[in-house]
Structure formats: C-alpha cells, structure tokens
Structure 1
C-alpha cells in the first residue's frame, strides 16, 4: 500500500503531495511515499489512513477522503522480492506535522522503489478525476472556493493552466455547484475572483 497524500489548504499556493524519509531498509533514509503492509482483515481505506497517519504524521481526523488509484505489479519493483503495491490517494486538511515534506507534482525528487512512476501515473488519474469525482474534488476544494483556487488546483494536477472559459463551463455543469455572485480579491493588485459553492 502506497499513498499519494494531497494537501491544498486555504493557505497553500498549490496542491502538494506528502513524502517522508524511510526509517528501515531497503532504502533507509531515502524519500518515499507513505506506505504500509496491508494488515490481516484490514480494508484498503483503513491501511491508507494508517500509512498517512504513521508515516506523514497527519492526524487521522485531518484525513478527509481516501480512494484507490491503481495496482503496480512490476516484479522487480521491490528488492525484497515480487510485491504488489496498491496505490491509493488521500486528501488531507490543515494540520500540524514536522514529519512530512510537501512538494508540488512538478518538484518531486527522486523517490525510493518505483514511487516516481506511481506519482506520475497517479497524477494523470487524479487529473482525470478532478471536477468529475465529487468526493475527491470536494475534499480538495472545500465547500466554497474561488475561481483562482480552481485554476490553481487544475494547473497543479494537469501540469498546465486551463482555459478559463472551459473551466467555467466545467464548474457550471457540476451537480450541486453554483456560482454565488460574490467576488473576493485574492491579491492586492488582482481582479476580484468569483466564488463557487457546493450546495
């Protein structure tokens, strides 16, 4: 079980993912995604929550949502022998922890095992889920967000800034999401941004 733990809190300029140094061999001291072995009788979401809590120091109540990304089965992915990895995603809310390092997708360093491949695959899948999977999307955006944050989140996952008109049409088509008519000045010199709200 390896987890792409995403954070995009109100004060975060972009979406980031959590990594931490491994404590044990193989790759002791190397940066890696949070991961654990699935316990007997343990459900995937429970194991993902445990991985984020124990490896990144995120309190369990700050883990807002969890889901599955893909399974990685390359026979040589782990030097200890053939091992499957079920990659999960988790969205975490604001919290205090000095265990994890939070990095943007475009600045992920070299990671242990095949974790860079897991990150690349997960980024594509999560980008496809954004604005379609409401559990995932709403965990990242919160109940209310500005158009500026929608652009920032889309850019972080897709790797390129979206067309504003297309993004507005996508947001307007989401069930339960509406434009409030309110505007918020995001930067002192910028134009006020539209506010979107989930019912």
Structure 2
C-alpha cells in the first residue's frame, strides 16, 4: 500500500476511467465560514473558478468518506465530517450560482451552502471520466492486486470495505484498488483504465 501525504492530484489522466461508488447528497443549510481566518470545514478543499458544481464537490468530498461538503463563493468546495462551528447564516446569503452549473447554488461570500453526503449502495458502480481539476488530498492510498479482467478488478473492489474505486491494466493484468474515487495522474495512464 502506497501512502503519499499532500499529493496534488491531477484529474486529467487522458485515458483513465474509474468505476466509483454512487454518492448522494442533500441540502442542509447556509452556514457562516472563515471568521478570524478560520475555516469551518477543514478537510479536502478545491477552488475551481470555471467548473464547480454540486456533483464535483460531492465527488471530491466522498474521496475520503466525509459526511458533509460546503460550496462557497461560486467556486470553492470544502469537506468535513462536521460543520456549523461558526453559526448558521441566513438562507438569502447563500445565493451565488456555481461556476460550472449556473442552475445550482454554491453558497456566498463567507457562507457555505452545506450538503450531507450519504453512501447508500456499496454495490453500484458508474464509470466516470475525470475532468482537468487539481485537488489536494491529505493522503493517497491504494492496493495493487492481480486481476484477469476489469470485471475481476471490480469484484475485488466490491469485496473490500475500504475500496471506493478501481483502475485496471489489461496489459499488466493488475488492478489498483483505491480508497478514493478519482485516481491521481501518477496512478493512471494509457495502461490503466476501466
């Protein structure tokens, strides 16, 4: 198992696809953030001036199985398993459209629109193609196992409680079982797909 702290993860691996588990989210409310330079939600974070959406933020926060995500100022995403330490904001203060989907609301200035994440179906998978976002994670971990096919790779992933995604190499007959949904560029490439 590899462990690389604070690895910038480039989600633009050209031929990489990942089979990840479905994540659902529901709106909780508008909450105050960044009082005296302190963030309310202190887990993974992302700033995407052109591509932020609720789906992207939920995917980023599900990488480490956080319980909540907050979107702020149209382009910022914050993750944590708790929120609200700085108090509730007025709903009218969470009124900015998301930079990547103007039909969605992504908080406001100093205000997180907070959503609860749920992971209801651990045996459902979808194939996703990562965008060109850069995300910083606190840790990056995976297990390398032998696999005869992409189906075998998914089967091995579904048998492990800590596996959230898998990347398969047909040429190497190997499978990387990931504990996060999107693979970093260092774990993908022309040989690693699903």
Please say whether Structure 1 and Structure 2 have the same fold, judged by a TM-score greater than 0.5.
no
Greater RCO (Cα-Cα under 8 Å, separation 6 or more): 2
Shorter-chain TM-score: what band? under 0.3
Report which of the two has the higher share of strand. 2
Query: So what's the TM-score if we normalise by structure 2?
Result: 0.26
